[in-house]
């Protein structure tokens, strides 16, 4: 972890391949994030009822991620953008895991996967950033894929769970945009602060519930916090130093494509046909953007 914190910025260490390194870092983060379907659905947490499981998982996950990152924080500085960043992060944690407890892992993640469109709206209408036309290709295919899955998934599901899933998508978009604006700061400081804020906000609720994990559950929760949140957010942040917010969340769509696999291992949840078709559309969009269009651009430049 210490080596990861102190690693040189990829944009300076690899000046020619800075964007490639950034994309690979975001891809690695997405793959680690996808393990939430494994951790949140493990039978070890079955004794926690649905209404309380989400907040409890969110609290312990955030706490362990913060505890691991705090010892390696360097150059902490206060900036105004930290307030909306931490606020978005807290809301994202609570709504995401609450939706995970109230509906299926696939449903929750696909609802959060609406984040690229919220990022697009924020960047264009609020921050006045230019749009990279090539990014519209995976954005369009992703819209079709996620839209199909959301329309099919929400039928007959808990309306509260659906609302939580959509709220997690909006708040995730806020996290990405504000992380990008703070890309010059120390990654351990930003990620640890976000997780610590989430844990502090949820602590009174956890105390009120009075439900405490066993020693076995604590080990799983520690792994949950480090592997599924702490490390991937550091990787994601470093990737944001060389690629834009919209591109990062588009690559992050790999997470919901992979997550049902983990949910299947943990609970035997089998993806429906619409999940398979939607995932295929997302992958087609990403392949067109990063393989076909990239090759055409290379030939035009060459």
| Structure confidence by residue, pLDDT tens digits, 52-96 | 787 788 899 999 999 988 988 888 888 888 999 999 999 988 888
Residue spans of the domains in the chain: they are: 16-301
For residue 3, is pLDDT > 60?
no
Give residue 83's pLDDT.
Answer: 95
Give residue 17's pLDDT.
Answer: 72
For residue 9, is pLDDT > 50?
no
CB-CB contact of 230 with 68 (8 Å): yes
Going by C-alpha positions, the residue among 283, 273, 293, 295 that lies closest to residue 153 is 273
For residue 192, is pLDDT > 80?
yes
CB-CB contact of 190 with 85 (8 Å): yes
Tokens of residue 179, six digits: 């992380």
Q: How many residues does the structure list for the chain?
A: 302
Q: Report, as an integer, the average pLDDT of 192-207.
A: 92
What pTM did the predictor assign? 0.78
Express each pLDDT in 236-249 by its tens digit.
999 999 998 888 98
Give residue 239's pLDDT.
Answer: 93
Going by C-alpha positions, the residue among 2, 3, 7 that lies closest to residue 22 is 7
Express each pLDDT in 261-278 by its tens digit.
777 776 677 777 887 888
Q: Who wins on pLDDT, 42 or 176?
A: 176
Of the given ranges (21-25, 157-161, 227-231, 235-239), which has the lowest mean pLDDT?
A: 157-161
Stretch (H or E) spanning 16: none
Confidence of residue 212 (pLDDT cuts 50, 70, 90): very high
Q: Who wins on pLDDT, 278 or 100?
A: 278
Q: What is the largest CA-CA distance in the chain?
A: 64
């Amino acid at each position: 972890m210490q080596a990861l914190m102190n690693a040189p910025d990829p944009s300076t260490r690899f000046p020619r391949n800075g964007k490639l390194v950034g994309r690979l870092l975001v891809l690695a983060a997405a793959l680690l994030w996808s393990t939430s379907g494994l951790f949140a659905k493990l039978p070890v947490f079955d004794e926690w009822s649905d209404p309380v499981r989400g907040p409890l998982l969110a609290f312990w996950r955030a706490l362990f991620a913060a505890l691991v990152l705090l010892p390696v924080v360097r150059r902490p500085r206060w900036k105004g953008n930290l307030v909306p960043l931490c606020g978005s992060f807290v809301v994202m944690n609570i709504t995401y895991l609450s939706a995970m407890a109230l509906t299926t892992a696939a449903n929750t993640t696909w609802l959060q996967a609406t984040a690229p469109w919220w990022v697009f709206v924020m960047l264009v209408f609020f921050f006045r950033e230019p749009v990279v036309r090539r990014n519209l290709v995976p954005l369009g295919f992703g819209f079709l894929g996620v839209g199909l899955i959301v329309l099919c998934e929400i039928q007959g599901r808990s309306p509260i769970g659906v609302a939580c899933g959509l709220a997690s998508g909006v708040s995730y978009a806020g996290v990405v945009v504000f992380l990008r604006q703070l890309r010059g700061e120390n990654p351990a400081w930003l990620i640890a602060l976000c997780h610590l804020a989430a844990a502090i906000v949820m602590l009174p609720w956890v105390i009120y519930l009075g439900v405490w994990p066993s020693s076995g559950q604590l080990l799983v929760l520690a792994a949950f916090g480090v592997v599924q949140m702490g490390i991937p957010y550091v990787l994601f942040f470093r990737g944001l130093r060389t690629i834009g917010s919209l591109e990062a969340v588009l690559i992050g769509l790999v997470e919901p494509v992979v997550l049902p696999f983990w949910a299947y291992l943990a609970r035997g949840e089998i993806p429906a046909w619409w999940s398979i078709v939607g995932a295929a559309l997302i992958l087609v969009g990403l392949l067109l953007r990063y393989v076909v269009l990239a090759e055409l651009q290379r030939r035009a430049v060459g």
